[in-house]
Every structure is written in structure tokens, then in C-alpha cells.
Amino acid sequence: MRSLAYKFKIRLNWYAATWRLPNLVWQFLFFVVPLTFLFYLSFWLVKNYRMVPGFDTVNWIKMFSRAYFWDAYYLTFGMALLSTVVTSCFAFPCAYGLAFKVSDAVRRWAIFCLIIPFFTSYLVRIYSWQVILAESGVINAMLSYIGLGPYIMLNTMFGTIVGYLTLALPLVVILQTFSIANVDRNLIEAAQNLGCGRIRTVFTVIVPLAKVGLIIGALFCFILSFGDFVSPYYLGGSKPPTLSILIIDTTKSGQQWPRAAVVAVSMILTLLVVAFGAVSAAYRKRA
């Protein structure tokens, strides 16, 4: 009897492994292999504008010893963090309303409308923001009617954050909505019966129970903002440069692809650390 159960368990393991195999192969071919090659490329040398295979740490030493690299790194990390906080704060009231204040039909249509922006090119949406945020654009034209402006919003950090919101806000709202909608309503009613007000119920019941979706949504926003090139270039003016812009500038400077690989690997390692930390925090259980 025990041997039969053991054989059945082995068969189930093989069945699960068979369905997991395509995903593992995909991750290996399109993530592990390119990342390994990128890491190896960072040790190559450039001589006479041509890359020479080798293994030298000079690229890492030169990039990590440059102040402009760390300035771009801190700027990129700080703007991605700011974008994550702003996007999460804007998304939560929308997700809360869709989860608790509307019917299922309205929620489905709202989620459909949130998906529609992904049907269009992100670059096209950013170009439209250039028209809206320009000194003679739509917003300043409206403000001029009440005697305000014009304000400089394009080629600023504000413009970059607007682009990050355009990129990540619909996705964060959707993730937060699904997470908040799955909160047990009986627990909310019990908290209110015990004397909790609405604000206290949100922070003591809903937020802890929807923690996984809130953190995963914030993680997606950070990842998208940290690696984005379009918004800081077209709305932020690319000055000072973020890490994604620094990669372009490095490749244009003497074909320094190995040094650009150093920047890219640093970005990927940062995102991996943040992702593992966020996922562990999302699924960490209370003592």
C-alpha cells in the first residue's frame, strides 16, 4: 500500500514537472541565457571602436568610479520609488470604489476601460502628453482663462512622473481591485460592529488582507518606472539622465557596449533584489 502511494506521488510529480517544463525552458532561453551573455559582455574591451572578447574588470571599475553613474542610479531609483508611491496612492481610492461601491457589471466595464489604453502604443500616449503639457498646451490654455500660468511642465521631473503614471496606473488599479474585491466582507462588518470607523477599517482590515495585491501592484509600477526610457526622454528632457538614457549615451560614446552592459546588469540586479524583497514581504505571515 505504501509503495503504491509512493509510485502515485512520483507520477504526480512528473505530471506537474511536464506542465512546468515549457515555462522553465522559456525562462532559460529568453532570460537566463541573455542575462548570462550580457554579464559576460560587460567584461569585454573596446579597442579601435571594436569589441574584443576577454575578461577584464576595467569596465566595472570605471563605471562604478564615475559620479555620473551613481547620480543616474540614485535619480532613477528615487524617481521610480516616487512613481510607485504616487501611483499606489492614486490607484487605491479607484480600486476601493470599484471593489465595494459599484456593481459587478460596472466593475467589469471599468476594468475593460482600464485595459483599453494598452491597445495603443505607449509612445503615442507620451507624444499626446507633450501636446497637453507644453507651455502653449491644453493645460496652460485652460489655466490662462483664470489668470494662471503658463507653467513649465514639460522637460521636468513632473512630466516624467506623469509619463510613469500613464504607463503603470491602469495596471496597478486592476491589480489592487482584484485584491481588494477578494477581502471577506464579514471581516469588514465585524470590524465596524466592534466600533471601527471607515478609515480605521481600511487600514486595519482591508489593507492587511489585500496586502499581496497592493505590494505586487507597487512592485510592477517600480519595475516599469525603473526601466522606462520613453518618459524621462520625451517628457523629462533626458537631463539629468536616468540609467536607461545613460545606456544609450554610453553606446554612442565610442561604441562602449561593454560599459552599457555594466549599467544594464546593475539595473537587472537591482530589480531582482527589489522583486525578491517585495514578494517575500507580500507573502510573509504575521507572527
Establish if 29 belongs to a structural domain.
no
For 31-57, what is the mean pLDDT? 87
R_g of the chain, CA atoms, integer Å: 24
From the number of C-beta atoms within 10 Å of its C-beta (0-12, 13-18, 19+), residue 63 rates as buried
Structural domain of 135: 40-283
Confidence of residue 51 (pLDDT cuts 50, 70, 90): confident
Confidence of residue 3 (pLDDT cuts 50, 70, 90): low
Nearest to 86 by CA among 158, 139, 155, 143: 158
Mean pLDDT of all residues belonging to the chain: 89
Instruction: State the pLDDT at residue 9.
Output: 53
Measured in Å, how far apart are the chain's first and last C-alpha atoms? 39
Establish if 9 belongs to a structural domain.
no
Is the pLDDT assigned to residue 31 strictly greater than 70?
A: yes
Neighbours of 152 (CB within 10 A): 13
Structure-model confidence comparison of residues 199 and 223, the more confident one? 223
The Cα 181–Cα 103 span in angstroms is: 11
pTM of the model: 0.89
Degrees to nearest 5, angle at CA 26 with 52 and 281: 100
Please tell me the total count of domains within the chain: 1
C-alpha cell at 233: 526622454
Establish if 201 belongs to a structural domain.
yes
Is the pLDDT assigned to residue 286 strictly greater than 80?
A: no
Establish if 12 belongs to a structural domain.
no
Nearest to 238 by CA among 105, 72, 44: 72
Establish if 77 belongs to a structural domain.
yes
pLDDT tens-digit series, residues 152-204: 999 999 999 999 999 999 999 999 999 999 998 888 888 888 888 888 888 99
The CATH number covering residue 179 comes to: 1.10.3720.10
Instruction: State the pLDDT at residue 217.
Output: 95
Residue spans of alpha helices (H) in the chain: 2-27, 33-41, 58-64, 67-100, 104-115, 122-133, 138-144, 157-181, 185-193, 198-201, 207-209, 211-226, 230-234, 243-252, 257-283
The Cα 69–Cα 263 span in angstroms is: 8
Establish if 19 belongs to a structural domain.
no
Establish if 65 belongs to a structural domain.
yes
Establish if 240 belongs to a structural domain.
yes
pLDDT tens-digit series, residues 113-135: 999 988 888 999 999 999 899 98
